Amino acid sequence: MAVDPTTATETAAAVSSFFGSDVAAKSIAAGLAIGVGAIGPALGIGKLASKAMEAIGRNPEAAPKIQTAMILAIAFTEAIAIYALVVALIIKFV
């Protein structure tokens, strides 16, 4: 599916006139991208830590295993936020 250059130009002109400039539109889009992209990982890490503390409270002997799994899961969850940051930077500078 090809993009019609006329439509793309008209869309860019409409966005530019609404926000005042392309820079302003890109800044708002980048802010929204990182803002929305960070909500999921923040909630995920909070829930993950909460459940890990509950598990350690119920079974303190299993703390090292739980802690290792928790740190690994936090790293994977944080990677999602890094993807959102990369997308925001691409929007802002490309």
| DSSP one-letter code for 59 | -
Phi, psi of 42 (to 5 degrees): -65, -45
- Domain ranges, residue 79: 45-94
Structure-model confidence comparison of residues 79 and 11, the more confident one = 79
For residue 15, being part of any structural domain is answered with no
Phi, psi of 21 (to 5 degrees): -165, 165
For residue 1, being part of any structural domain is answered with no
What is the SS3 assignment for 89? helix
CB contact at 8 A, 29 and 93? no
Q: What's the CATH number where 91 sits?
A: 1.20.20.10
Q: What is the pLDDT of residues 18-57, one digit of tens each?
A: 767 788 888 899 999 999 999 999 999 999 999 999 999 9
The position carrying tokens 């829930």 is: 47
For residue 14, being part of any structural domain is answered with no
For residue 74, being part of any structural domain is answered with yes
For residue 33, being part of any structural domain is answered with no
For residue 8, being part of any structural domain is answered with no
pLDDT at residue number 19: 66
For residue 89, being part of any structural domain is answered with yes
Number of domains present in the structure of the chain: 1
pLDDT at residue number 6: 63
For residue 79, being part of any structural domain is answered with yes
Residue 3: is its pLDDT beyond 60? no
pLDDT at residue number 51: 96
pLDDT at residue number 8: 57
CA distance 37 to 3: 27
